[in-house]
Amino acid sequence: MRIVIAGGHGQIALRLERLLAARGDEVAGIIRSPEQRDDLREAGAEPVLLDLESASVEEVAASLRGADAAVFAAGAGPGSGVARKDTVDRGAAVLFADAAVRAGVRRHVVVSSMGADPQHEGDEVFDVYQRAKGEADAYVSGLDDLDWTILRPGLLTNDTGTGLVRLEANTGRGAIPRDDVAAVLAELLDTPATAGLTLELIGGSTPLSVAVKSVAGN
């Protein structure tokens, strides 16, 4: 498969790129900084220089044409303020989804956040973030031209992945290593029967490939 990842230099994205490249997929990562190109190449991905806060739908669609799947893994990051929660966590996700529709790339996987909710109340930065992610998820899930899956991980850690997870519509709060999030994303890309599902992910006791097959109804 050819897979294009928005937010290609993120911690989860770099892990996913390594996994996909190692298994023989063709991977491209969208990045905004030229200094990040070498890191992507080292991970086995083709760097695509594009700023999702200022690019047009057509520019993003051009980067997606010919792909078999798209993954939105971009984020404004923990040090960003309210404005970028809207322009990246909501706006870039909406732009990327619209571009995927225009490019004819149906398979679309979104890395969201546990607790994302368009009705989330509050004015603190994290409140705005949860609302922005929720609004983006609601937009993507309303697009009939996408076979979307939304993944909402719990508290992200840099612990070594265990390969054991809990993946359900509602898991409750918990932590999950970024290694395991990336591995679950790779499995979701291979499991089109998960289209139309919004899933929460935390550490658990089920091998991740089994967990993905289970939510897919296999």
Q: Which residues are catalytic?
A: 129
Question: Which parts of 11-166 fold into alpha helices (H)?
Answer: 11-22, 37-43, 57-64, 82-84, 93-103, 125-141
Question: What is the 8-class DSSP label of residue 194?
Answer: G
Structure tokens belonging to residue 168: 């359900």
Q: Is 173 exposed, middle or buried (0-12, 13-18, 19+ CB in 10 A)?
A: exposed
- For residue 211, the SS3 value is helix
Distances (CA, A) of 61 to 21, 51, 67, 96: 22, 13, 10, 8
